[in-house]
Structure 1
Amino acid sequence: MTMRSSKELMAWQPPAGWRELSGDQRSTYLQQHGIRFPLRPSDWEAMEHEQRMTYLNWVSRVMHDTPASRAAKQREYRRELLAWRVLMGWWALCLLAALGIVWGTDAFPEALGLRIGMTIFAVAAYTITFFAPMGATRPSPPRT
C-alpha cells in the first residue's frame, strides 16, 4: 500500500452506523476494505504542529471513539462529579459548624456586633478560599 497524505486520509468518511461499532468491529471493517490509517502519513514532515494534532485527533476520533470508551468517560465524569460534590458539602458543613460556634454558644455574650463581624468574615473567607476555586474546578461532562 502506498503512503497517502493526511488530506487524502482525512477525506475518508466513515459509513453509517460507525459510532455504534466497537473497536474490534471497526478494525475488522477497515481490514476488509483495505483501509489503513498510518500514524505518520506521507506528508508528516511537511505538516505544521497544528496540522499534525488535527490529523492525530481525527484518527483517534475515527478509531477510538467507541461506545465503550464513551461509557467509560461518562463513568469517570460521574465519579469525579460525586467527589467534587462531597468536597463541596464538606466545606459547607465546616462553614455551618463555624457559624454554629459563633451563634450557638455563649462564647461572645452580649457582643452582637462581634458575632455579625465574624459571620461576615467567615462567609467571605470561605467564599474566596474554597467556593470560588471549587466552582472553577468543577468537572465538565465529556464531549460526545
Structure 2
Amino acid sequence: MAIRTSRELMAWQPPAGWRELSGVQRRARLDRLGMVIPLRPADWETLEHDQRMAYLAWSTRILHDTPEARAAKQRAYRKDLRAWWVLECWWILCLIVGLWLVWGSGHPGEGVGWRIVITLIVIVLYTMALFIPMQIAKPSPPQD
C-alpha cells in the first residue's frame, strides 16, 4: 500500500480499538498493512502551513497518542498540581504568620483600629498579588 500524499494518508481511518493499542502494537499493525507514515509526505512542499500542521497533528494522533503517553501526561499533571498545592499552602502559611505577627503581639486592646487596617491591607494585597495569579496558573488536566 504505497500512499504518497498527505490527503491519501489522512483519508485512512484507524480500525476499531486503535486508541487502546500501544505504540509498538500500532507500528506492527501498520507494518502488517504495509503502510508507512512518513514524517513528510510527497506533497509536503505544496502544502500550506495550516495543511502541514493538520498533517502533523494527524500523524501524532495516529502514532503517538497511546495509552502510555496519556498516562505520562496524567502523571505530569498530578505532579504539577501537587507542586501547585504545596506553593499555595506555603503562601497561606505565610499569610497566617503575618497576621499572627500583627494580632499576636502586644495587649488585646492596643491599636485595634490599626491592626484591622493592616489586616485588611494585607488580605487585599495577598489576594491581588498571590491568590488570583495562583488561581490563573493552576495546572489544567490534559485533554484526551
TM-score tier (shorter): over 0.9
2:45 is matched with which residue?
Answer: 45
Q: 1:107 to 1:84 in 2, by over 3 A?
A: farther
Shift of 1:127: 1.1
Cα deviation digits, residues 37-90 of structure 1 (max 9, x gap): 111112211212121111111101110111111111101100000000010000
- Distance in 1 between the 2:42 and 2:62 partners? 19
- Distance in 2 between the 1:41 and 1:50 partners? 15
Shift of 1:126: 1.0
Q: What is the TM-score when the length of structure 1 is the normalising length?
A: 0.94
Q: What is the TM-score when the length of structure 2 is the normalising length?
A: 0.94
Q: Is the 2:3–2:35 contact (alpha carbons within 8 Å) kept by the matching residues of 1?
A: no
Query: Where does 1:1-144 land on structure 2 (aligned, <5 Å)?
Result: 2=2, 4-106=4-106, 110-144=110-144
Q: Secondary structure at the match of 1:45?
A: helix
- Distance in 2 between the 1:16 and 1:64 partners? 17
Q: How many residues in Structure 1 have an aligned counterpart in Structure 2?
A: 144
Q: Is the 1:4–1:41 contact (alpha carbons within 8 Å) kept by the matching residues of 2?
A: yes
- Distance in 1 between the 2:27 and 2:87 partners? 42
- Distance in 2 between the 1:127 and 1:54 partners? 42
- Distance in 2 between the 1:9 and 1:142 partners? 27
Q: Is the 2:44–2:52 contact (alpha carbons within 8 Å) kept by the matching residues of 1?
A: yes
Cα deviation digits, residues 13-44 of structure 1 (max 9, x gap): 00010011111100000000011111111221
Q: Is the 2:80–2:139 contact (alpha carbons within 8 Å) kept by the matching residues of 1?
A: yes
How large is the Cα RMSD of the aligned pairs?
Answer: 1.6
- Distance in 2 between the 1:22 and 1:3 partners? 23
Could you tell me which runs of 5 or more consecutive residues in structure 1 were left unpaired when the two chains were aligned. none
Shift of 1:143: 0.8
Query: What code does the residue aligned with 2:38 have?
Result: P
Q: Is the 1:26–1:63 contact (alpha carbons within 8 Å) kept by the matching residues of 2?
A: yes
